[in-house]
Amino acid sequence: MTSEHVRGRLSEVRRAFHRHPEPAWCEFRTTCRLVEELRGIGVDELHVGRDAIAEDERMAVPDADTLDRWYERAREAGVDPGVLERLVGGYTGAVAVLERGEGPTIGLRVDIDGLHIEEAAGESHAPAAEGFRSETDGTMHACGHDAHVTVGLGVLEAVMASEFAGTFKVFFQPAEEESGGGKAMAESEHMDDVDCLFAVHVGLGHPTGEVVAGIVEPLAMAHITATFHGEAAHAGNAPQEGRNTIQAASRAVSDLYGIPRHADGATRMNVGRIEGGSASNVVADETTVWGEVRGETTALMRYMQDAFTRRVEAAAAAHGCTVDVDVVSESPRADSDPDLAALVADAARGRADVDTVHESAPFGASEDATFLMRRVQEADGLATYAVVGTDHPGDHHTPAFDVDERTLDTGVGVLSDAVLAAAEDHR
């Protein structure tokens, strides 16, 4: 066990995670692999699976077949069966704890999941050219969460090797991409005593050498599905007997885009997927619409959510159908605390590999780290969401996304210095 177990091979560790991306709640192999690294580092407490989260608070959990498929894949890959067994049913993720005597409890939250995207295979895409492209078709680390896991491990190791006094916890959170894991992790008992929480993301349009100390104004969001139920009928013989769910869904979609703007601030609405019906000569008896709403504040998101529900219900009623509206997952708004962000900014300014430091910047997207941030802030603690810039050739969530690996060392350095400063400040 050396104090450079992870920090001496950050790229290698990141690439190993990059090769095997797993979607929300299916991070079986990822969790086993990160536990292996944590054992190499030698932490004082390690909580995995059901012990890492509030098990009843998971959102957007995939169906049992999907979970089984990914579980099997991890088993076949030869991961530690003892760890894997504890993740059965999609209870992925881990919380690692360092106990270093008297002092505050500082937390760091990183996310670990990948996306349903087919990774670029051309020579201009570094992971393909250098042999660490995703080995799982249709799944990709296209948002940098492979880098986040690596940074989380590196910071843990750096804090361990330092004079840090207090308790340090790293939250390896599953299912961020579906806004499904934040609440479950926020509600776990491991968050009870956290005085200061850091969360981190790479890139997001900020180039290598740039650091944002505290993101503000993330959009609160909710993923919603609406399933319309009607009555099938012969489209030629007896169309009047049918209750057409495609008609209801179509009306709902156009009405949804007509939800008025709100004077209090920005809102968003999107329908990204529709599935229903069986053939052109049959009145469709079931159609599902997948949508999402966002708002600058949690209240604005609720306004959109209510308006969404009213419109799909009205559209269903107009066509004699019924509709089940299901909020699959959601995340609130939370802003970084300037006092804690200032510690990240100070840590960043002290480094040769950082040339631009922003105290804060608007997010413009959504994140379920906000659940953890709010949990800490509501208990009078401090939280900040930092961005460590990275040159990324493709946008986030596209096949050509990649990170500049120099960012790994920058992220570990900035965050571990900020963690030490927070512990010092809180004494």
Give the binding site for Zn ion (CB under 5 A): 143
Element (H, E) at 88: none
**Residue 193 C-beta: closest distance to Zn ion, Å:** 27
**Residue 181 C-beta: closest distance to Zn ion, Å:** 12
- If the CB atoms of residues 143 and 344 are measured against Zn ion, the closer one turns out to be 143
**Residue 134 C-beta: closest distance to Zn ion, Å:** 16
- If the CB atoms of residues 159 and 403 are measured against Zn ion, the closer one turns out to be 403
**Residue 143 C-beta: closest distance to Zn ion, Å:** 3
HEC secondary structure over 354-365: CCEEEEEEECCC
Residues with Cβ within 8 Å of residue 303, at least 6 apart in sequence: 262, 267, 295
Which tokens sit at 357? 């430091």
Cα(325)–Cα(176) distance, rounded to whole angstroms? 22
Which residue has its beta carbon closest to Zn ion?
A: 143
- If the CB atoms of residues 143 and 185 are measured against Zn ion, the closer one turns out to be 143
Please answer whether residues 426 and 103 qualify as being in contact, where contact means their C-beta atoms are separated by less than 8 angstroms. Answer: yes
- If the CB atoms of residues 143 and 226 are measured against Zn ion, the closer one turns out to be 143
**Residue 276 C-beta: closest distance to Zn ion, Å:** 31
254 vs 88, 144, 288, 333, CA distance in Å?
Answer: 41, 35, 15, 27
**Residue 212 C-beta: closest distance to Zn ion, Å:** 14
- If the CB atoms of residues 143 and 347 are measured against Zn ion, the closer one turns out to be 143
Up-side HSE of residue 184: CA atoms within 13 Å toward CB?
33
Q: Residues 147, 31, 99, 426: is their CA dihedral positive or negative?
A: positive
- If the CB atoms of residues 299 and 328 are measured against Zn ion, the closer one turns out to be 328
- If the CB atoms of residues 143 and 249 are measured against Zn ion, the closer one turns out to be 143
**Residue 365 C-beta: closest distance to Zn ion, Å:** 8
Per DSSP, what are the bridge partners of residue 215?
A: 361
Angle at 205 between CA 204 and CA 210, to 5 degrees: 95
Per DSSP, what are the bridge partners of residue 97?
A: 45, 169
Angle at 409 between CA 346 and CA 216, to 5 degrees: 50
